[in-house]
Amino acid sequence: MNDLRIGPDGLSRCGWVGDDAEYRRYHDEEWGRPLHGDRALFEKMSLEGFQAGLSWITILRKRPRFREVFAGLEPAAVAAFDEADVERLMADAGIIRNRAKILATIGNARLVVAMAPGELDALMWSFAPAPRAEADRPRSFADVPAVTAASDALSKTLRKAGFRFVGSTTMYALMQSAGMVDDHLVGCHRARA
For 8, residues 6+ apart whose C-beta sits below 8 A from its C-beta are none
Is 188 annotated in a binding site? The answer is: yes
| pLDDT tens track for 13-66 | 999 998 899 999 999 999 999 999 999 999 999 999 999 889 999 999 999 999
Amino acid making up residue 130: A
CA angle 159, 183, 60 (to 5 degrees): 70
Region 35-183: CATH code: 1.10.340.30
pTM of the model: 0.94
Inter-residue contact 187 to 4 (CB < 8 Å): yes
- Give the residue numbers annotated as catalytic, written as ranges: 26, 48, 56
| pLDDT tens track for 116-159 | 999 999 999 999 999 888 888 999 999 999 999 999 999 999 99
Is 189 annotated in a binding site? The answer is: no
Rounded to whole angstroms, the Cα distance separating 121 from 64 reads 23
**What residue ranges do the domains of the chain occupy?**
35-183
Which of 116, 122, 114 has the alpha carbon at shortest distance from 41? 122
